[in-house]
């Protein structure tokens, strides 16, 4: 009996390689899941402060809806120096790398695995690192999915507040406040207890403190929104970028600020309703659905199944989702537009849509992914 190749990928467990890779800024722990294919990118993940690849991404990658992506794209999980489970305390002579230096450690990871291009998936500090990597190495990055990114450096007031927090709070309390919003901390006791336990029992406290300090001392991400006819030599992310944040996340304002600084023709902001500080943990199915459409917009995953995801988008000039007659009137216009090839200027679409995303063709998915907008779901 003949068995379809795609079915085989669901039957057999992917090959897993775990390695410590030497870089100019210390060894980074990496886990490769799957086998790279010619002409296919690899998903490259990077975790947030207080997390490792398991606590940050296991809920997402173990979800049944992730199966199509897992069977199509291999994954490389990167963990910052000393942040993996069971990590030994870093030597006292070791100078912990800055966020910029951690981003410059990634080319060594790609070279080690023989990777030519990646799609980045980062959370918090990891999102910042991947964005910096894409700015400096645009030829290596097909696209970015950035959760809870903060593009700004800590101001003087923030720095003082951080110092006070360190003096008056334990390390787990400080990390919990970074990861989760006030409502979650006060009301979702099981979730907070789980992550507090993870921080205190699986993370090396000395190493974690150094990673936290590195993040708090980050520079501002040097990006500038292009203005036609004015800032000709602007610096921005060249690849398609999906920004994700929960509406109850402590990072909401920072993510909105980041969206305002990026190229509006390449950026989408997904603001998730009834969602806290870790969307990939809180609502993994919705994040996976958005991830599928995003990857499709890059020209991959053309045949994966899609479930119903209803979107509401607005132009980046407004942070309020549109859901009125005007919005619905534009739906038919978008669905009947002529199909254009990927990469053309015509992909930018209309300012407002309100339509089930699974009813759109790949071309229309490109419209959603390639324009700066807010998508509420």
Please check whether residue 225 is in contact with residue 236, taking contact to mean a CB–CB distance below 8 angstroms.
Answer: yes
Q: Which residue from 253, 257, 221, 219 is spatially nearest to 237, judged by alpha carbons?
A: 221
Q: What is the pLDDT of residue 38?
A: 82
Q: Is the pLDDT of residue 200 over 80?
A: yes
Q: Which residues pair with 310 in a beta bridge?
A: 356
Residue 333: pLDDT band (50, 70, 90) is very low
On the question of pLDDT at 261 being above 50, the answer is yes
pLDDT for residue 150: 96
Sheet arrangement for strand 118-123: 16-23, 26-33, 75-79, 42-46, 118-123, 141-147, 240-246, 267-272, 373-376, 310-315, 353-356
pLDDT of residue 332: 31
Return the pLDDT at 39. 82
Q: What pLDDT is recorded for position 45?
A: 98
Cα–Cα nearest to 105, from 214, 22, 45, 215: 22
3-state helix/strand/coil string of 21-46: EEECCEEEEEEEECCCCCCCCEEEEE
Q: How far apart, in whole angstroms, are the C-alpha atoms of residue 143 and residue 244?
A: 14
d(C-alpha 249, C-alpha 184), whole Å: 9
Please determine, for residue 239, whether its predicted confidence score (pLDDT) is greater than 70.
Answer: yes
Q: Is the pLDDT of residue 347 over 80?
A: no
SS (H, E, C) 307-348: CCCEEEEEECCCCCCCCCHHHHHHHHHHHCCCCCCCCCHHHH
- d(C-alpha 166, C-alpha 157), whole Å: 14
Among 159-173, 289-303, 338-352, the range scoring the smallest mean pLDDT is: 338-352
Q: 20 pairs with which residues across the strands?
A: 29
- Of the pLDDT bands very low, low, confident and very high (cuts 50, 70, 90), residue 167 is low
Rounded distance between C-alpha atoms, residue 111 and residue 127, angstroms: 21
Give the confidence band of 127 by pLDDT, cuts at 50, 70, 90.
very high
The confidence band for 227, taking pLDDT boundaries of 50, 70 and 90, is confident
Domain ranges of the chain: 16-298
pLDDT given for residue 224 in this prediction: 80
Question: Which among 70-84, 163-177, 339-353 has the top mean pLDDT?
Answer: 70-84
> If you average pLDDT over residues 357-371, what whole number do you get?
38
Percent of the chain with pLDDT over 90: 62
Rounded-to-integer distance, Cα 298 and Cα 210, Å:
36
Q: What is the dihedral of CA 245, 304, 360, 268, to 10 degrees?
A: 20
The CA distances from residue 104 to 23, 154, 205, 235, in Å, are 9, 21, 25, 18
Report the percent of the chain where pLDDT is more than 70. Answer: 71
Query: Top-level CATH class of 16-298?
Result: alpha beta
Tell me, what's the pLDDT at 290? 96
What are the backbone dihedrals phi and psi of residue 247, each rounded to the nearest 5 degrees, phi first? -70, -10
How much is the CA Rg of the chain, to the nearest whole Å?
A: 20
pLDDT at position 230 is: 67
Q: Dihedral (C-alpha) 114, 119, 121, 127: value to the nearest 10 degrees?
A: 90
Give, in order, the Cα–Cα distances in Å from 90 to each of 12, 21, 199.
37, 15, 17
Tokens of 136: 């400096």
Q: What is the pLDDT of residue 304?
A: 59
Q: How confident is the model at residue 8 (pLDDT cuts 50, 70, 90)?
A: very low
Q: How far is CA 91 from CA 21, 27, 80, 81, 82, in A?
A: 17, 12, 15, 11, 10
Reference 150, options 243, 254, 276; nearest CA is 254
Q: Which element (helix H / strand E) includes 270?
A: strand 267-272
Q: Calculate the CA 302 to chain-centre distance.
A: 21
Q: For residues 203 and 50, is the Cβ–Cβ distance under 8 A? A: yes
Residue 59: helix, strand or coil by DSSP? helix
| pLDDT on residue 293 | 94
Is residue 6 very low, low, confident or very high in pLDDT (cuts 50, 70, 90)? very low
Least confident of 17-21, 196-200, 372-376: 372-376
C-alpha span between 298 and 343 (Å, rounded):
9
For residue 223, the model assigns a pLDDT of 85
Cα atoms found within 13 Å of the Cα of residue 236, Cβ hemisphere only: 22
């Amino acid at each position: 009996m003949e068995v379809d190749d795609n079915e085989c990928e669901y039957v057999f467990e992917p090959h897993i390689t775990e390695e410590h890779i030497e870089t100019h800024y210390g060894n980074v722990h990496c886990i490769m899941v799957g086998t790279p294919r010619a002409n296919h990118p690899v998903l490259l993940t990077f975790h947030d402060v207080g997390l490792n690849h398991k606590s940050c991404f296991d809920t997402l990658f173990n979800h049944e809806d992730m199966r199509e992506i897992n069977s199509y794209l291999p994954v490389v999980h990167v963990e910052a120096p000393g942040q993996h489970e069971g990590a030994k305390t870093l030597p006292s002579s070791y100078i912990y790398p800055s966020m910029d230096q951690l981003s410059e450690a990634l080319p060594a990871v790609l070279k080690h695995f023989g990777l030519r291009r990646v799609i980045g998936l980062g959370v918090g500090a990891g999102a910042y690192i991947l964005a910096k990597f894409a700015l400096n190495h645009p030829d290596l990055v097909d696209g970015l999915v950035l959760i809870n990114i903060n593009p700004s450096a800590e101001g003087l007031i923030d720095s003082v507040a951080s110092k006070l927090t360190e003096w008056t709070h334990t390390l787990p309390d400080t990390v919990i406040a970074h990861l989760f919003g006030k409502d979650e901390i006060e009301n979702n006791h099981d979730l907070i207890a789980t992550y507090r336990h993870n921080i205190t029992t699986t993370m090396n406290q000395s190493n974690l403190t150094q990673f936290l300090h590195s993040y708090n001392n980050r520079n501002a991400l040097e990006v500038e929104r292009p203005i036609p006819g004015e800032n000709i030599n602007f610096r921005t992310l060249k690849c398609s970028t999906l920004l994700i944040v929960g509406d109850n996340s402590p990072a909401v304002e920072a993510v909105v600020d980041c969206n305002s600084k990026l190229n509006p023709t390449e950026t989408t902001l997904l603001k998730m309703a009834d969602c806290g500080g870790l969307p990939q943990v809180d609502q993994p199915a919705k994040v996976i659905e958005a991830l599928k459409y995003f990857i499709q917009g890059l020209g991959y995953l053309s045949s994966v199944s899609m479930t119903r995801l209803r979107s509401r988008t607005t132009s980046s000039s407004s942070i309020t989702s549109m859901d009125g007659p005007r919005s619905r009137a534009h739906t038919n216009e978008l669905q009947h537009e002529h199909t254009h090839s990927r990469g053309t200027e015509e992909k930018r679409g209309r300012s407002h849509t309100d339509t089930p995303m699974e009813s759109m063709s790949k071309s229309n998915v490109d419209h959603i992914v390639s324009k700066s907008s807010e998508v509420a779901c």
